Amino acid sequence: MARFVLSRALKAVLTVWIAITSTFFLLRLLPGDPTTLMVEGDMTPEMQAALLKTYGLDRPLWEQYVSYLRELVQGNLGISFRQIQPVVDIIVDRLPWTLLLAGTAFVVTVAVGIPIGVAAAVNRGRWLDRALQALGIGGHALFVPSVAMLLLVFLGARLGWFPIGGAIDPDTRGAAAYLSLAHHLVLPVLSLVLVQLGPYALTLRTNMIEVLGEDYIRAAQARGLSARRRVWKHGLRNAILPALTLMGLQLGTLVGGAVLTETVFAYPGVGRLIFEAVGQQDYPVLQGAFIMLAVTVVFANALTDMFYAVLNPRIRL
Amino acid sequence: MRKTVKGRWRLAVALGVAATLGISGCSLNEDTGSSTTSTDGSVLRIGTTTDVSNFNPLQSLSKTDSWILNAMYPHLLRIDENAKKAPELAKEYRYEDGGKTAVFVLRDDFTWTDGKPVVADDVKFSAEMIMKYKLGNVAAKLTWVESIEAPDATTVKFKLSQPYAPFAEGVGFWMSIVPKHVFESAGDLSKFPNDSNWVGAGPFVLDSITKGQRYVMKRNPNYPLAPGGKAAVSQVEYRVYPDVNTMMLALRNGDIDLMGTPVPVSAVKTFQADSNIKLVKVGALGFAHLTYNMKNKQLADQQVRQALSMSVDTKSIISSVLQGDGQQMAGPISPIFSEYDNTEIQPYPFDPAGAKAKLSAAGYKDANNDGFFDELAFGVACDQSNANITRVVQLFRESAAKAGIKLENECVERNTFLSRTKNGEYDIDASQWGVFDNPMDQLRSTYLSSNPGGINYNLLESPEMDHLINDAAATTDPEAFKAKIKNIDKVVHDQAYLTPLYVENFQFAYNASKFTGFVPSPSDLLGMVTAYSLAQVTPAK
């Protein structure tokens, strides 16, 4: 097991390094530089050169890269071009909101997706199953910002059940603050869950149908085990394994979806930070945010792998 | 073993939930700053599209930053409803020494929120720091300054290397005045974030921040430009909505009282049925245009540029793209600057057949009879995130085809577009100027061969234009100055260096059942949220 964990950890480090390197160079392949966006101001070539020097962008690319890695190893993600603040501080302010949003959406998707997927598999061909198939296909077709705006218009503006944007009422304190937090979280989470739930439950349903046809399930039936026990104890344990992998992979999509969701719902997470930093070509913030997200996704996937190994010992062989 | 696995599941879920709640819980409602709730008066809540990126007013280049920073740090002059400069901190300005000295006389009743008076030394310090560290876009406007003197508490003298007619207007409007006694201890101001313990002299001063969500500004108890010596509104809150559709919902829902950003043309109707929401229309300080790259052999031909100008149906563009909410232009000076706009020149008529005849007469041929002149094929570059301009390019392409000119749509992502314009990699540039506060700065930036503002998109190198512009710039007699600007307006029109498309109107929405008294200024940079405007707002009766 120790060898398995070590191998997964090494792969995770390698993946993060690839993410760091590709982010670094891809950003610099973009046309223009951060001063390009200031072209509409009265900016002389000397001022542009001075700014590029301040940002360290006048040095050769490889030199910038080596210096960036050196700083990164020491936990320094650089200083934001626009905000003149350490990128670590900026991201640390925003990351909890994204983790809360994506984490809650993840938990809700799993918690609701499992019973729906199982119920659809057991009731194959009936209305619930057909509805799930429609939701699964629909989920692939839905565009997160459109769902988010529809939810805002109907559940927020028309019915007035939920607030229009934001993460919390800043004037609340104590228990009221937590209630406000949950109240503001409902619509953003719902928009992410609506998109994720169908495909997830559909995968579980397909696995479940396959598993329920296995010999050991029929043997369990022959031994007189109740349907509930056959499905939930024996069937689900095996059917959930591929679905678990899928969720690990979908975490990336979830985080990507959070960029758009946070923008529509004015949610103050890393996604919105990226949205703003792209518009300003703030390389250090973008690099920092992408690295944080890459680390989060890689870490979650590594955890999923290890969890998978715990549930399915064959993996460790 | 079964129990162990089940236990691990539960442990993992519990840890996950605890970690998530713990992480977010620890930062619940921890504002940066002091108290947040208003104790008297009313709170005006304004929607903005993004967080403040830089709190240093000498350095920030962001429009949305300026909404908040301008309410804290005074300027010498402001722009009024008619796009004219009006007194703010300076009660008057004049030129001495044949235009080589600009003198500002300050009011003596502005005070910083820590009780110290705003004095000439603050103005001198602000300008000197901008020059020393080349901060923001004001540094270029101070190019001519040789020295600055503050002979007494209310007089500031800028000694210039040469007369420059709009110097005082440009610097007066754009430069923020910061408290010397606070900023001088910060050292290198290019690295000063100014993100706490704010001391201002505007009508409101930042009090607390909830990053990503809101910026709370408290009333300055002494703001002489407000009726009664202080603003009627006790607190201003900026709330962040990156998506303008969400911001509109928030206004309708009563979560905010004013949208800082204009309402998109397509959404104006949604507010017209709402009796609480009032729309205010203001003009722009910039305009949309087609600019021709003079390095292109064919576009260097005046006949071709004039023919292209005759191939653009600006009236249709205004009615279809802006739904009628814009003004036509003739030359490069916007009609909003009525004193400088040459009303004797007329826009080129939309006449594709006439354009075709003009090009034939100039010797252009269609040898292969494909309906297009053989040498006249151009790319039109634009920023595809600007929906209006992208639509304009499509219409231009269709109408130019009728004149026998083949155009390719080269609208691309914004950064790519700006990079291409910066490097002169285009034939025709379709874009929109943001804010020109005075015609002289505009003409210098767009037509001088030295390209001082980096926006001479014509890449024009014309000794005649250089002479006309430099001559006007050094003219200190107001009437002669206006006449020279009008003449340049005519020359640019005759040469058809650009085809002006329209001056867009902006519409701002606010909840009139709660607040009244806004004093709007032109442009989406100023709009309803200038310091002066916010200081005049009163709760509705």
Task: Tell me what the mean pLDDT of segment B36-45 comes to.
Answer: 68
Whichever domain contains A302, its CATH number is 1.10.3720.10
Enclosing H/E stretch for B409: strand B406-412
Element (H, E) at A270: helix A270-280
More confident residue, A246 or A77: A77
Helix ranges (H only) for B215-284 are 244-253, 268-272
Return all residues near B458 (Cβ < 8 A) that are at least 6 apart. Answer: B291, B292, B293, B294, B446, B447, B497, B498
Instruction: Report the CATH fold assignment for B35-52+202-280+509-539.
Output: D-Maltodextrin-Binding Protein; domain 2 (3.40.190)
With CA atoms as reference, report the closest residue to B499 among B387, B417, B378.
Answer: B378
Query: In sequence order, which ranges of B217-351 are alpha helices (DSSP H)?
Result: 244-253, 268-272, 302-310, 314-321
Q: Is A50 within the bounds of a domain?
A: yes
Nearest-angstrom CA–CA distance, B521 and A98: 38
Q: Are B225 and B242 in contact (CB under 8 A)?
A: no
Q: What is the mean pLDDT of residues B329-336?
A: 93
Helix (H, G, I), strand (E, B) or coil at B541: coil
| Pairwise CA distance, residues A247 & A305, whole Å | 11
Q: Can you name the residues that pair with B498 across neighbouring β-strands?
A: B291
Q: Is residue A316 part of a domain?
A: no
Nearest chain B residue (CA) to A276: B50
In angstroms, rounded to a whole number, what is the distance separating the alpha carbons of residues B93 and B433? 28
Give the model's confidence band at A226: pLDDT under 50 very low, under 70 low, under 90 confident, else very high.
confident
pLDDT, position A228: 81
Q: Number of C-alpha atoms within 13 angstroms, CB side, residue B212?
A: 32
Distance CA B23, CA A270 (A): 14
What local confidence, expressed as pLDDT, does residue A151 receive? 94
Residues A299 and A167 in one domain: yes
Q: Which of A53, A86, A119 is the last residue of a domain?
A: A86
Transcribe B466-492 into DSSP letters: HHHHHHHHT--SHHHHHHHHHHHHHHH
Q: Which of B246, B255, B456 to mutate to test the interface with A (most CBs of A within 10 A)?
A: B246
Longest dimension (CA), chain A: 85
Please report which confidence band the pLDDT of residue A28 belongs to, taking 50, 70 and 90 as the band edges: confident
pLDDT tens digit string along B451-492?
Answer: 776 788 999 999 999 999 999 999 988 899 999 999 999 999
- Confidence class of residue A75 from pLDDT cuts 50, 70 and 90? confident
Query: Residue A102 in contact with residue A258, Cβ under 8 Å?
Result: yes
Domain tally for chain A? Answer: 2
Between B63 and B534, the higher pLDDT residue: B534
At B2, is the pLDDT very low, low, confident or very high (cuts 50, 70, 90)? very low
User: Nearest 5°: phi and psi at B152?
Assistant: -145, -175
Six-digit token string for B388: 């209006």
pLDDT exceeds cutoff 80 at A35? no
Q: Using an 8 Å Cβ cutoff, are B122 and B104 in contact?
A: no
Domain final residue, candidates A86, A117, A151: A86
Q: B428-432 and B288-292 as β-strands: parallel, antiparallel, unpaired?
A: antiparallel
Average pLDDT of every residue of chain B: 90
Specify whether the CB–CB gap between B139 and B452 falls below 8 A: no
B35 pLDDT above the threshold of 50: no
- What fold is seen in the domain B77-186? Dipeptide-binding Protein; domain 1 (3.90.76)
Q: How high is the pLDDT of residue A294? A: 85
CATH architecture of B285-504: Roll (3.10)
| pLDDT tens-digit readout, B233-292 | 999 999 999 999 999 999 999 999 999 999 988 888 889 888 999 999 999 999 999 999
- Do residue A77 and residue A126 come from a single domain? no
Quick check: B344 pLDDT over 60?
A: yes
What is the three-class DSSP state of B152?
A: strand
Phi and psi, residue B475, nearest 5°? -90, 120
Structural domain of A240: 96-311
Name the residue among B466, B439, B50, B58 with its Cα closest to residue B260: B50
Residues 7-26 of A with CB under 8 A from B: none
Closest-CA residue in chain B for A266?
A: B241
- Could you tell me the pTM of the whole model? 0.85
Q: Give the residue, B87 or A303, on which the prediction is more confident.
A: B87
pLDDT surpasses 50 at B25: no
Q: Is a pLDDT exceeding 70 seen at residue B10?
A: no
Of the ranges A40-54, B92-106, B131-145, B177-191, which one carries the lowest mean pLDDT score?
A40-54
- Residues forming a β-bridge with B209: B32, B215
Tell if the CB–CB gap between A39 and B422 is shorter than 8 Å. yes
Chain A CB contacts of B28 below 8 Å: 168, 177-178, 181
Residues 151-190 of chain A with CB under 8 A from chain B are 152-153, 156-157, 160, 163-168, 170-173, 177-178, 181
Residues A74 and A119 in one domain: no
Sign of CA dihedral B400, B404, B405, B411: positive
